[in-house]
Amino acid sequence: MSKQVQDAYIVSATRLPIGKSGRGYFKNTRPDEMLVKVMQAVMAQAPGIDPAAIEDAIIGCSFPEGEQGMNIARVASVLAGFGPTVGGVTINRYCASGITAVQMAADRIRVGEADVMFAGGVESMSMIPMGGNKPSLSPLIFEKDENIGIAYGMGLTAEKVAEKWKISREAQDAFSVESHRRAVAAMAAGHFDAEMTPFDVIERTPNLADGTVNTKTRTVKLDEGARPDTSLEGLAKLKPVFAAKGSVTAGNSSQTSDGSGGLLIVSEAALKRYNLTPLARFVSFAVKGVPPEIMGIGPIEAIPAALKSAGITAAQLDWIELNEAFAAQSLAVLNDLDSKGIELDRAKVNPNGGAIALGHPLGATGAIRAASVIHGLRRTGGKYGMVTMCVGAGQGAAGIFERL
Q: Tens digits of per-residue pLDDT, 246-292?
A: 999 999 999 999 999 999 999 999 999 999 999 999 999 999 999 99
* Residue in 180, 191, 360, 375 annotated catalytic: 360
**For residue 31, which amino acid is it?**
P
Model confidence pLDDT, tens digit, residues 68-103: 999 999 999 999 999 999 999 999 999 999 999 999
Q: Decide: 385 and 320 in contact? Cβ < 8 Å.
A: yes
Choose the catalytic residue: 61, 180, 191, 390.
390
pLDDT for position 63: 98
* Catalytic one of 95, 180, 191, 375: 95
Q: Could you tell me if 325 and 389 are in contact, meaning their C-beta atoms sit under 8 angstroms apart?
A: yes
Residue 311: count of CB within 10 angstroms of its CB: 12
Any catalytic annotation for residue 375? no
User: Does the annotation mark 191 as catalytic?
Assistant: no
- What pLDDT score was predicted for residue 2? 55
Q: Are 298 and 275 in contact (CB under 8 A)?
A: no
pTM reported for the whole predicted model:
0.96
- The mean pLDDT value for 303-321 works out to 98
Cβ–Cβ < 8 Å for 27, 21: yes
Active site residue 180: no
pLDDT tens track for 200-221 = 999 888 888 888 888 999 999 9
pLDDT value at 129 more than 60? yes
Of 28, 39, 101, nearest to 64 by C-alpha is: 101
Instruction: Look over the chain and give the mean of its residue pLDDT values, rounded to a whole number.
Output: 97
SS3 content of the chain, % helix, strand, coil (to 5): 40, 25, 35
Distance CA 282, CA 10 (A): 7
